[in-house]
Structure 1
Amino acid sequence: MKVRAAQLKAALPVIILLSGAVMAWALVAIRSETGSPAPANEAPPIQVMRAIPQTLALNVRSQGIVTPRTEIDLVSEVAGRIIKLHPAFVTGNAFKAGDVLVALDPRDYDHAIVRAQALVAEAKHRLAREEEEANQASYEWQVLGKEKPPTPLMLREPQLAEARAKLKAAEADVAQARLQRSRCEWRAPFAGKIREKSAGLGQFVQPGAALARLYAIDVAEVRLPLTTDQMIYIDWPINTHMQGNQHKTIAPKVTLTAQFSGALYQWQGRIARLEGAMNEASGMLHAVAEIDTTNMVKDSAPPFLPGLFVQAEIEGRAQMGLFRLPREAVNANRAVVVIDAEGRLRIRSIRLLRIETDHVLVSDGLAAGDLIVINAIQAPIEGVRLRYEIVEPDSGSGQSQNNSSSNSQ
């Protein structure tokens, strides 16, 4: 009995090891029968697009602030107390051309007119008297029959000239008094709005005092800074050519965009002129865009207010044979990755015409139909065969074309 117990005790580890091996083999066999898929080693296909030459308008983008083309200060030319203000004499209100915006107390100037008219009457009386005396002196000389010719003083010619000069001076004083009287009413020279107001009813003003700041609402301007590179894409200077018997100016169109009351609005205008000097600090030249604002109220358009910040897109010249690619397709060395006819990777240098926000314009280095890789490849290797998927730019859908390759990225 003791011998059998010792033998059983010695065989127990062997039995346990055999049982574990059988169980492990059974688990492996069951797992192989389930057919679990092995992890895939192939990377997904890269996306490519066909290079299509296009004729594109090389528009130029800029920005600026709206300013009125005409803006003046309303300054008093005479002294007086304000006795009347136009109902529109409030910041932001509109007025018409010819409206009396401010009226001063005119009584002092009415009195000045009366006094000047009295001086005119006195000067006329003196002139008439001098004329009669000159006629009498001439008659007396002829009656007396003097042998020597009369002197001008004897004929009272200097006195007569003085009387005539004093009459002209008195008449000039009347005109001056009336002019001062007319300046008591300040009429608007154009249709516009009040931008700033600095005077009120009953206030006494002195000559030279600023009463308000006005601006015209017919035309607004926007100064648009342009770099020398941007100016290449626009027809400068503004062209003038003959159409029939008349000169016609062709100015580039400009579209202005701004957010107003939570909505995006656009206004159309034209480049009116270029400023005459470069900005020394920025090295830019400013183009001035003009926008006709007279019909905005009739058209229910939003107000084109001074001080509004707007984005501008200036119409540029059209150029043929350009390729428009996503920015991701061009690397830092200004090169693109293309797929040749055998499905192999090729690195090609290109010439960039312009870099835009989301795209680049290529002018040289590509041919129509080239397959351009638009995925970012970390380390492209020349000659590697790749699987790719063609993405059509217009629809965004792609077609897969599988190519056998021993290497893939």
Structure 2
Amino acid sequence: MASGFKKAGIPILILVGAIIVMFVLISMKQKPEKEEVITRDFLVDAKPIELENVDFLVYSQGSVQAKNKTMLSTQVSGRVIAIADNYIEGGFFKKGDVLVELETSDYQTDLLLAEAELARAQASFDEEKARGKVAAEEWRSFNKGPAPELGLRKPQLAREEASVKAAQANLQRAQRNFERTKIRAPFDGLVKTRNVDLGQFVTIGSQLGEVFSTDVAEVRLPLTDDDIAFLADLNAVNPQVTLSSDVAGKTIKWQGVLVRDEAVLDSKSRVIYGVVEVKDPYQLNASTSQKGMPLRFGRFVNATITGITAANIVVLPRNVLRLDGTILTVGEDKQIKINFVTVQRADENFVYISDGLDPQEQVVMSAVPNPYEGMPVRFLGDEEKPPSQPETVQNDNAIEVK
């Protein structure tokens, strides 16, 4: 029985000893030092509010085309006997240059016949005029009263005078037809397409080719209602326009003027087209030292239009404007203020604020999660400040608030 008690008591003694050792160790453990947890104000980046005058810019794009273009056609018929060397696709010409010449033999004959008919009619008119003078002298020799018009041959003289005018008209027509055998350039320009060759017989109205004028180029720019709102009245002012395009890896610019809009909204795109004019796009009249890259017809260009000027505008990065249309500012008390602002315009990079900001405050440029009115903040470089929240002390078992 004693041996049984000994076997059962040993584990109990071991357990009691372990408990005693545990309490001794706990009593010997040092208490942890108290750590102060300080809540600091939120760190923000801010910049002063600056009012400035802003020249608004309107952006668009379009293709370059000739202001004047026409299809050359014939007013007489005949065989083509000559074509100018520069009447080729891409060839340049001056106003009045002969581009195509037709056979003139038949028109020379018509011209000679018209000249002969005029000479005959003029001779008959002179003869009738002389007869009238003779008749008047004979009447005065035998009669004292006024002579009748028939006796003075006035109707016959009027008929011959009409014949002279008709012959003159026929001569003028023959001269015009003779001149029309030479098809001349209607303006300074270039050849877009040529549809005629030597020896070809053309009839009245045959199309010989399409030509473009090179004195002025046009660019049609689609403009929305918002774009129009930032442009000056085109009836009073013609805004400057900078056209640009990438050519051989370089950005080339040309200057133009917005001269008008087409006054009618496009029924499909609901935009209105503005028309930009560029003088001498191929720089044919520029001096050698001033020549640059020509603005070729058909080139696609980006356009920057100088719009109206607005005063006392605050220009800020677009990301500063919050989704609810507010902007955060900080006053001298370094507390957040939430401002509802008036956005006059916004683009991809900036917002233009016309009202709602106090110039004495600073705009918060950094993101602030869950801001509220009066929220305290600090700036970079600010010295350490007393905690704005209660001090908390943490021990091994719980967190106590002092």
Structure 2 residue 61 is the aligned partner of structure 1 residue 63: yes
Give the TM-score, by structure 1 length. 0.75
Matched letter for residue 204 of structure 1: F
Change in CA separation of 1:402 and 1:196 when aligned onto 2, cut-off 3 Å: farther
Q: Which residue number in structure 1 is paired with residue 248 of structure 2?
A: 261
1:40-55 alignment runs, 5 A limit: 45-55=43-53
Change in CA separation of 1:200 and 1:158 when aligned onto 2, cut-off 3 Å: same
Change in CA separation of 1:347 and 1:150 when aligned onto 2, cut-off 3 Å: closer
Displacement of 1:142: 6.5
Structure 2 residue 315 is the aligned partner of structure 1 residue 324: yes
Displacement of 1:251: 2.9
Q: Which residue number in structure 1 is paired with residue 208 of structure 2?
A: 211
Displacement of 1:110: 0.6
Match of 1:290 among 266, 272, 277: 277
Q: Which residue number in structure 2 is paired with residue 352 of structure 1?
A: 343
Structure 2 residue 226 is the aligned partner of structure 1 residue 229: yes
The higher radius of gyration belongs to 2
Match of 1:113 among 99, 111, 114: 111
Aligned-partner Cα distance in 1 for 2:106–2:382: 94
Q: Which residue number in structure 1 is paired with residue 73 of structure 2?
A: 75
Q: Which residue number in structure 2 is paired with residue 315 of structure 1?
A: 306
Deviates most, 319-328 or 148-157 = 148-157
Change in CA separation of 1:209 and 1:42 when aligned onto 2, cut-off 3 Å: farther
Aligned-partner Cα distance in 1 for 2:194–2:131: 60
CA contact (8 A) 1:66 1:307 kept: yes
Q: Which residue number in structure 1 is paired with residue 32 of structure 2?
A: none
- Which structure 2 residue ranges, 5 or more long, are not aligned? 19-38, 391-402
Structure 2 residue 262 is the aligned partner of structure 1 residue 271: no
Q: Which residue number in structure 2 is paired with residue 188 of structure 1?
A: 185
Aligned-partner Cα distance in 1 for 2:314–2:257: 28
1:5-404 alignment runs, 5 A limit: 45-131=43-129, 133-134=131-132, 145=142, 152-153=149-150, 155-239=152-236, 250-293=237-280, 296-297=283-284, 298=286, 299-389=290-380
- Which structure 1 residue ranges, 5 or more long, are not aligned? 19-40, 240-249, 390-398
Change in CA separation of 1:365 and 1:132 when aligned onto 2, cut-off 3 Å: closer
Aligned-partner Cα distance in 1 for 2:351–2:144: 108
Aligned-partner Cα distance in 1 for 2:206–2:116: 32
CA contact (8 A) 1:91 1:197 kept: yes
Change in CA separation of 1:340 and 1:121 when aligned onto 2, cut-off 3 Å: closer
Displacement of 1:105: 1.2
Displacement of 1:133: 5.0
Aligned-partner Cα distance in 2 for 1:56–1:99: 50
Please list the CA deviations of residues 71-120 of structure 1 after superposition, one character each: whole Å capped at 9, or x if unmatched. 22222111112221222212222112221111111111111101112222
Displacement of 1:148: 9.6
What is the DSSP-based 3-state SS (H/G/I as helix, E as strand, rest coil) of the residue aligned with 1:303? coil
Between the two proteins, the alignment pairs up a number of residues equal to 361
Matched letter for residue 326 of structure 1: P
- % of aligned pairs identical? 29
Please list the CA deviations of residues 279-320 of structure 1 after superposition, one character each: whole Å capped at 9, or x if unmatched. 454444433222222683542321112222222222223222
Matched letter for residue 227 of structure 2: Q
Please list the CA deviations of residues 198-218 of structure 1 after superposition, one character each: whole Å capped at 9, or x if unmatched. 222222222222222222222
Displacement of 1:274: 3.7
Change in CA separation of 1:347 and 1:270 when aligned onto 2, cut-off 3 Å: same
What is the DSSP-based 3-state SS (H/G/I as helix, E as strand, rest coil) of the residue aligned with 1:235? coil
What is the DSSP-based 3-state SS (H/G/I as helix, E as strand, rest coil) of the residue aligned with 1:354? strand
CA contact (8 A) 1:78 1:180 kept: yes
What is the DSSP-based 3-state SS (H/G/I as helix, E as strand, rest coil) of the residue aligned with 2:307? coil
Change in CA separation of 1:153 and 1:294 when aligned onto 2, cut-off 3 Å: same
Displacement of 1:69: 2.2
Aligned-partner Cα distance in 2 for 1:359–1:227: 19
CA contact (8 A) 1:386 1:405 kept: no
Aligned-pair RMSD on alpha carbons?
3.8
Matched letter for residue 259 of structure 2: A
Aligned-partner Cα distance in 2 for 1:129–1:178: 27
Aligned-partner Cα distance in 1 for 2:331–2:105: 94
Aligned-partner Cα distance in 1 for 2:252–2:270: 31
Matched letter for residue 206 of structure 2: A
Change in CA separation of 1:383 and 1:97 when aligned onto 2, cut-off 3 Å: same
Matched letter for residue 349 of structure 1: F
Deviates most, 296-305 or 378-387 = 378-387
